[in-house]
Every structure is written in structure tokens, then in C-alpha cells.
């Protein structure tokens, strides 16, 4: 952490959620929001909130949707100096409704919002120039301009002796092919730490067993892989052959969105603060679980004290 903040690059959004489950947005329904959102924003908010030094390169509109995000990130201790404000485009948004089976319908305005205008501004260069770690969100890899910033950040942060992590966090159809697939492959080759969840482990590596997937990631240079398993907890693996597992906390899942991003934010922050692997994994597991107990994608992000209390008060699921 002493080398400088953890930095991420990508979309900031508001999320507006349906209060009822059902099929899409084809009739008037009750909505709640706006809530601060965007995978990189959720990640960096949790990273800062738990006490890590953290900042984000992003772009919002000159509107309330942008302001609630910037104010939340600032309140939680993130560096917001490299969040540009577009005078012309609105802040990105996502309307979300869960269907009965747990899948989701979305109405997005991201690519043609301020989120599509993230660029390598002077403020972004300054933040990246001070950074000690880069966290790459798969969601950001599909935007060409963001890729340019990431390549710049990789070069600068590596040059400073900093580290890099990647959360695949994207639809499996995108991981394998085309420009996004190539960018993702390059990130796997240069990342110190990979944080896949579920299917991502296999689609990212083209393997079918966990053992083969881990071997593949380690052969490409990762030092650590952390597998997120939703309500089954998580596992840590190192290239040196160490392993640690955590059983999930027994919580009522109110809103699963953002669990993986909070998990990652807590993981990177605690790791960079020098905590031992098992402690890092415990905080990350708690951060993901606490976040699913609140409505809104980053409403459950916890401070270290809140997560300590959560861990003391919450039983674990039987493994
Ligand atoms: P996202 O949907 O945000 O992309 P993800 O698929 O990347 O999430 P998950 O595995 O769903 O990641 O969640 C990350 C972590 O959060 C899990 O490994 C676990 O520690 C915790 N977690 C998530 N859901 C639950 C749950 N229902 N109960 C307990 N813990 C949970
Ligand atoms: Mg995820």
C-alpha cells in the first residue's frame, strides 16, 4: 500500500431497480433508486471503505446521478480527482429487474453515456503516476478508449514496481473471442492476481476442471488465484501450492449485485495492507456476504469495523 493507491478504470453508473420480480419493463412498475453503481466503482468504494488507499479513472455527467456517485466515493475515502465530468453526456444508468428464476432483465445506457467518454486526462495520468496497484474489471475491456488507458496504466504501474489484478467479470461469450478476448488474454498474461467466479475460471482458461484451470493461470504468471463461489464461499490458491478455503456466511440474499466487486475490493485492500492470506480471505468473504444483505449494488460495502462486527455476529454456512 505504501507504493501508492489501488487504481481502477471504468464505468460509473446509477442503478434503478424494480421492487418486484417479473418480466422486464413492459408496463409501469415500482422502481427504487438511483443507487451508486458500476463494477469498478463498487470495487473501489469497498477498497477505500475498508481502509485501502484507492482511486478511480472514470467519467460522469453533470447531473445528480453523477453527483451521488462522486459524493459516495469521496465520503468513503476514494480519490475522486480523476473522475471527469462531461458537460454534454448524462451519467450512465442501468435499470434492473429480477425475473422469478433469479436471472435479470436490463435497460442500459452505458456506451452512449458519460461512461463511454472515459479518457486519459491529465488528472488520470497524475493518479496513475502515483498508483501502486492496477485492478482491471472485465466489464471495461470492451471499451477501446479504456483499453488505451489500461495499457498506459500497466506500463506506468509496472515501471514503478506495482502489481496488477484482474476480475474477468464478464459474459462468457466475450471472454474467448475478438478484441475483448485478446485484451483479456493479455491481462491474464500480466496479472499477479486473478479473481474469477463460477464459470469464468473455465471460460477464461478453456479448461474443464479447477485443477487444470489453476495450472493454466499459474503457468501464465499469476502468483495468486482467488475463486469466488457465491453462497459456497471462496478459495485462495498460490503458485507456490498454498490453499485456503472459507465457508460462506449464512445471510439472507436481498440483492446479489456487487458481491464479487465488494469481495475484490476488500481482498485487494487487505492484501496490500499486508494481512496474511487467511485474514484477507475472511474480510473479502465478509464484504461479499454483507453486501448481498442490502438493496443496492454498493450499499452493503463495509468499513473494517463493520466487517469485524459482521464476522462476529454472522454464522457460517455448513461447508
Ligand atoms: P457479481 O455478481 O457481483 O459479479 P461474482 O459472481 O463475481 O459476483 P460471487 O461469487 O457471486 O461473485 O460473490 C463473491 C463472494 O461474495 C463470494 O465468494 C462469497 O464470499 C460472497 N457471497 C456472494 N453471495 C453470497 C451469499 N448468497 N451468501 C454468502 N456469501 C455470499
Ligand atoms: Mg463478478
pLDDT in tens, 129-148: 999 999 999 988 988 899 99
**pLDDT tens-digit series, residues 188-229:** 999 999 999 988 899 888 899 999 999 999 999 999 999 999
**E strand or H helix at 137, and its extent?**
strand 133-137
Q: How far is the CA of 165 from the centre of ligand 2 (A)?
A: 13
User: Mean pLDDT over all residues of the chain?
Assistant: 95
pLDDT value for 45: 98
If 0-12 CB within 10 Å is exposed, 13-18 middle and 19+ buried, where does residue 295 land?
middle
Q: Is the pLDDT of residue 176 over 70?
A: no
Q: How far is the CA of 79 from the centre of ligand 1 (A)?
A: 26
Q: What is the CA radius of gyration of the chain?
A: 18
Cβ of 292 closer than 6 Å to ligand 1, yes or no, is: yes
Closest atom of ligand 1 to CA, residue 259: 3
Atom 1 of ligand 1, residue of closest alpha carbon? 260
By most ligand atoms within 8 Å of CB, the mutation choice from 230, 232, 301 for ligand 1 is 230
pLDDT value for 285: 98
**pLDDT tens-digit series, residues 221-250:** 999 999 999 999 999 999 999 999 999 999
d(CA 121, CA 222): 30
d(CA 54, CA 66): 19
pLDDT value for 289: 98
Cβ of 169 closer than 6 Å to ligand 1, yes or no, is: yes
Q: Is the pLDDT of residue 269 over 70?
A: yes
Pick the residue with more confidence: 35 or 318? Answer: 35
pTM of this prediction? 0.97
Contact status, residue 217 vs residue 282, Cβ threshold 8 Å = no
**pLDDT tens-digit series, residues 11-28:** 999 999 999 999 999 999
pLDDT value for 204: 85
Amino acid at each position: 500500500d505504501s507504493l501508492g493507491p489501488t487504481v481502477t478504470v471504468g464505468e460509473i453508473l446509477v442503478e434503478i431497480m424494480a421492487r418486484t420480480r417479473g418480466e422486464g419493463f413492459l408496463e409501469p412498475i415500482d422502481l427504487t433508486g438511483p443507487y451508486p453503481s458500476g463494477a469498478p466503482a463498487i470495487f473501489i468504494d469497498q477498497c477505500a471503505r475498508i481502509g485501502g488507499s484507492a482511486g478511480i479513472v472514470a467519467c460522469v455527467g453533470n447531473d445528480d446521478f453523477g453527483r451521488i456517485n462522486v459524493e459516495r466515493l469521496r465520503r468513503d475515502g476514494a480519490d475522486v480527482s480523476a473522475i471527469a465530468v462531461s458537460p454534454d453526456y448524462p451519467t450512465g444508468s442501468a435499470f434492473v429487474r429480477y425475473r422469478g428464476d433469479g436471472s435479470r432483465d436490463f435497460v442500459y445506457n452505458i456506451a452512449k453515456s458519460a461512461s463511454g467518454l472515459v479518457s486519459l486526462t491529465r488528472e488520470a495520468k497524475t493518479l496513475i503516476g502515483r498508483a501502486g496497484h492496477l485492478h482491471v474489471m472485465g466489464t471495461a475491456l470492451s471499451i477501446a478508449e479504456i483499453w488505451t488507458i489500461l495499457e498506459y496504466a500497466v506500463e506506468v504501474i509496472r515501471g514503478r514496481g506495482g502489481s496488477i489484478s484482474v476480475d474477468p467479470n464478464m459474459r462468457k461469450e466475450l471472454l474467448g473471442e475478438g478484441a475483448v478476448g485478446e485484451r483479456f488474454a493479455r491481462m491474464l498474461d500480466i496479472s499477479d492476481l486473478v479473481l474469477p467466479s463460477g464459470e469464468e475460471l473455465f471460460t477464461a482458461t478453456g479448461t474443464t476442471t479447477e485443477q487444470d484451470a489453476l495450472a493454466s493461470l499459474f503457468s501464465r504468471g499469476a502468483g495468486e488465484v482467488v475463486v469466488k463461489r457465491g453462497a459456497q464461499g471462496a478459495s485462495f490458491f498460490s503458485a507456490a501450492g498454498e490453499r485456503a478455503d472459507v465457508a460462506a456466511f449464512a445471510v439472507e440474499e436481498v440483492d446479489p449485485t456487487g458481491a464479487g466487486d465488494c469481495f475484490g475490493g476488500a481482498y485487494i485492500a487487505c492484501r496490500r495492507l499486508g494481512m496474511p492470506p487467511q485474514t484477507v480471505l475472511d474480510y473479502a468473504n465478509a464484504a461479499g456476504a454483507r453486501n448481498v444483505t442490502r438493496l443496492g449494488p454498493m450499499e452493503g460495502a463495509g468499513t473494517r469495523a463493520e466487517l469485524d462486527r459482521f464476522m462476529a455476529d454472522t454464522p457460517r454456512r455448513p461447508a
